[in-house]
Structure 1
Amino acid sequence: MTYASATYVPETRLGFQFLRTHTWQHHVLRVAINDLKRLIGEPLPQGGVLLDVGCGQGRSFRLLRDAFRPDRMIGLDADPHSLALARDEAQREGIEAELVTGDCARIELPDASVDIVFCHQTFHHLVEQERALAEFWRVLKPGGLLLFAESTKAYIDTWVIRWFFRHPMEVQKSADEYLAMLRGQGFAFEHRHVSLPYLWWSRSSDFGLLERWGLRTPPPPGQREETLVNVAARKPLSDT
C-alpha cells in the first residue's frame, strides 16, 4: 500500500476493523461531536466549507452534515484504502463529499479557504504535528473553527492500546501540551471551550469497570492523568 505521507504509521488490522464499527461511530465519534457542539455554543455555524482531516472511513460524515450543514465537505486521509471505504459511506448516506488522498502536513488547499477543520483522533497518528497544525491554521479563514478532539499520551501509552493499535509513540502529548501547542500556533480559546472527558473507553487500565462495579471512586479532575482533550478553537479575525 502506498500512503500519501512518508511518515504514515499504518493501523493494525484489528484497529482498522474497529474504526468500521457501531461502537466507534456511536460511542466515540458521536459523543465527541456532541461535546464539541456544546463547546462552540449556540448558534452553531452552518454552511461553508468543512474539512475533515484524517477522515478515515467516513463514519463522521453524517454526524458532521447533520450538525453543520456544510455547503462543501472535504475528507482528507493518507490511506487510499480508508478513502475507498469513505466513498462508499458517503454514497450510502447520500452525502456529497470530496475525498482527497493527502498529508495533513501538506494540505493541497488554498490559504483561508476553509470554515471548519475537524480533527478527531487524528493528531496522535501524525509524526509532523507542528507542520500539520500550521496547515490547519493556513487553510482556515480568519474566524474559522478548529474542532480538535484527541487522546493523550496517558491513554495511548497504556498496554492495551499499544498491544492492539499502532501509533508513533515519540510524538504523544499530554492534554496540557496539546493545549499549549494550539495556543502557540495562535488559536484562541477560553476555559469554556475546552473539555477533558473521562469516558469509559478512555480509562487507562480497566475501561472503568471497577468504578461501574462500585469498587473504586473515579479520581476528580486535577487528580488524574487526563486521557482525552476536546477543544473548539478559533483562528482570530486578525493577528493584532
Structure 2
Amino acid sequence: MNRIESMLVNSPPRRWLQRYEARELINLGGRVPGGLVAELGCGPGYGTRLILDRFGAAHVDAVDLDPAMIARARKRLARHTGRVHLAQGSATDLRTGFAPFGSGQDASYDAVFDFAIIHHIPNWRDALAEVARVLKPGGRFYFDEVTATALARPTYQRLFDHPTDNRFTAGEFLAELPRHGLTASESWRTHIGGDYLLGVATRT
C-alpha cells in the first residue's frame, strides 16, 4: 500500500464508505451477535469497531502487515480493551499471526471479515483457503473487494500500488469460493460496472 492509499484508508471518506459497506453486508448476511470474529487487515481499526458496534461481535482477532496501522488501531479501539486482539501478521497465515493469544486454529471463528484486503495479496487463493480453515461449519465470510476491472482503470494505476499479476474479476472471486468449501449467498452485489464486489459466503 503506497502513501496515497494509506492516506485514503485513514480519511473521513473511507470511514463513510465503510459505514455504507457495513450496512450492505448486514443486509446480505445479518449480524454476528456474541460471535468470535477474525478480521483480515484491520488498517486503522475503523472496520474493527464496526464489527463490534454494528455487527455485535463479542470479540475480534485482527491482523495487519503494517505496524503503523496496528498502532493507529490500538488507539482507536482503546475503549474496547479485552474485546480485541491486534497482531502484525498475514491474512495467508492466521495461525502464526494469532499464536500469541492462542487463536487462529481450525474451525475457531463464527465469522471472518475482509474489508477490501484480499485484492492486495498476490496469492489471494491462499487467503481464501485460510478463511475457510479458520471458520466454523456454518460460519460466515463477509467480503468487500476491489476487482481486476477497477485495478485496470488508469486512475487506479496512477494513484495506487497493487499487485499486477493474478488479479480477480467478481466472477473469478465468486467461482473460487466453493473450491475452499465456501458457499456464497445469491444476493451478492457488484457496484460501478463490476469494480467492487460485496457478499457473504458460508462455510459448508
TM-score surpassing 0.5?
A: yes
Shift of 1:190: 3.3
Secondary structure (helix, strand or coil) at the match of 1:130 reads: helix
After superposition, the CA RMSD in angstroms is 1.3
Return the alpha-carbon distance in structure 2 between the equivalents of residues 131 and 151 of structure 1. Answer: 17
Amino acid at match of 1:22: P
1:123 aligns with 2:123: no
Large movers: runs of 4+ above 3 Å: none
Equivalent of 1:58, from 33, 45, 48?
Answer: 45
Q: Counterpart of 2:184?
A: 189
User: Is 2:25–2:200's contact at 8 Å kept on the other side of the alignment?
Assistant: yes
Q: Counterpart of 1:143?
A: 138
Shift of 1:62: 2.2
Change (3 A) 1:64 1:184: same
Q: Which runs of 5+ in 2 are unaligned?
A: 96-103
Aligned residue pairs, count: 194
Amino acid at match of 2:196: L
**For 1:145-170, what per-residue CA distance to the aligned partner results, in whole angstroms no more than 9, with x for missing partners?**
00011011111121111111111011
Q: Counterpart of 1:169?
A: 164
Shift of 1:82: 1.1
1:31 aligns with 2:20: yes
**For 1:183-227, what per-residue CA distance to the aligned partner results, in whole angstroms no more than 9, with x for missing partners?**
2212112322x11123xxxxxxxxxxxxxxxxxxxxxxxxxx411
Q: Counterpart of 1:202?
A: none
Comparing both structures, which one devotes a greater share of its residues to strand? 2
Q: Counterpart of 1:214?
A: none
Q: TM-score, normalised by structure 1?
A: 0.77
Which runs of structure 2 are paired with 1:90-239 in the superposition (5 Å)? 90-91=77-78, 94-96=79-81, 97-108=84-95, 109-192=104-187, 194-198=188-192, 225-236=193-204
User: Is 1:61–1:95's contact at 8 Å kept on the other side of the alignment?
Assistant: no
Larger Rg: 1
Q: TM-score, normalised by structure 2?
A: 0.90
